[in-house]
Structure 1
Amino acid sequence: MLAEARRKKEEAIREHEHREALRENHRIQIAREEASKTIQHIVLGSAMVSFGAGASIQHVVPGANSCRIGISNLPLDATREEIEGLFTQQGVGSGMFCVLGLAKSPDERHLEADVVIEKEKGELIALGFQEIEFRDETLLFEVSDNDRPDGMTASTTRRSDVLTLSLRAPFESMLVSYPSEARALEKARQLNRGMCGGRRVRVEPNRYSAGDPYFGETAVRITGLPLNCPLVTVARFAGAGLIKTLKSVDYDVQDALELLRIHINSVPGGKLTKYEIISGESIDGNFIVKAHLGTWEHAKEVYNHFDGIRLPYTGGTFLKMHLPDPIHYTLSIPLPQYQAQKRVWDSLTEAKSNSEACCIRINLQDQVFIRILGENKKAVGALKVRVETLAAGEKVFVWHPSFASTSGEAFMSSLSTRAHAVYARADSRLRAFRLYGEPAALDLARTLIRTEVERLSAREATALLKQECVGFFVRRGLKILQRTLGEENVTLDISSSPCQITVRGGAIAHNTLERIIADLDPTTPTGIACPVCCDEVSHPVQLNCGHTYCTGCIRHFLTTAGETKLFPLSCMGEEGKCGVLIAIPTIQRYLAPPQLQRLLDVAFNCYLEQHPQELKYCTTPDCRQIYRTTTTPAIVDCPSCFSHICSCCSADGHEGMSCEESRVYNDTAEQERLNDLWAQANNVKTCPSCNIRIEKTEGCNHIACRCGAHICWKCQPVAVFDRDQIYPHLNEVHGGAFEV
Structure 2
Amino acid sequence: MPGADGIPLVPPGLGLEDIQEGSSTHKIKPDTLTIPVLDSTRVTFGPGFEICQLVTGFESRQIFIERLPPDVTSTDLTEELKGFGEIIAVYLPERLREGATNLTARVTFSSHEEAAQAALTLNGESLFNRTVSVRLSSVKSTSLGKGTLRDGDVLLEIPVAQKIAYAGYNTAEEADKAIALANCTELEGSWVTAARHVGLPSIGLFNVRFQGLPPSLKREELTRYGRNEGVTMERLKYESLPNALKCLRKLLEGFGELLSLEIPPGPYKKGVVRGWARFAAARVADNFCRKNSGRTQGWLGDQKLYAHHIRSIAYTLPPDVFDVLEPEIRLLRLFFQESVRGVNIDAVDKRSWLAPSAPVVVKLSARDMPTLTRLKTAFEQLLRGEKLTGRDGEIIWEDFFSLHAGIAFLDVLQKNHPGTMLNRDPRRRTITLFGPADKRAMLGSAILAKVAALRSAKIYILQLPPTIIGFFMSADLLKLQQELGHENIWIDLSKRLLKVRGSEDAYKAAQLAILHVQDPRTRSTRPRSAACPVCLTEVTTPVTLNCGHSWCKACLSLYLKSAIDTKVFPLTCLGDGGRCSHRMPLRIAQELLSPDDFNALTHASFLAYVHTRPSEFHYCPTPDCTQIYRTAPREAILQCPSCLTRICPSCNGEYHENRRCQAEIDSEDQRLFEEWKASHDVKPCPGCKALIERSAGCNHMACTWCNTHICWVCLKTYEKADDVYEHMRSVHGGIGL
Q: Does the TM-score normalized on the shorter chain lie above 0.5?
A: no
TM-score (norm: length of structure 1): 0.41
TM-score (norm: length of structure 2): 0.41
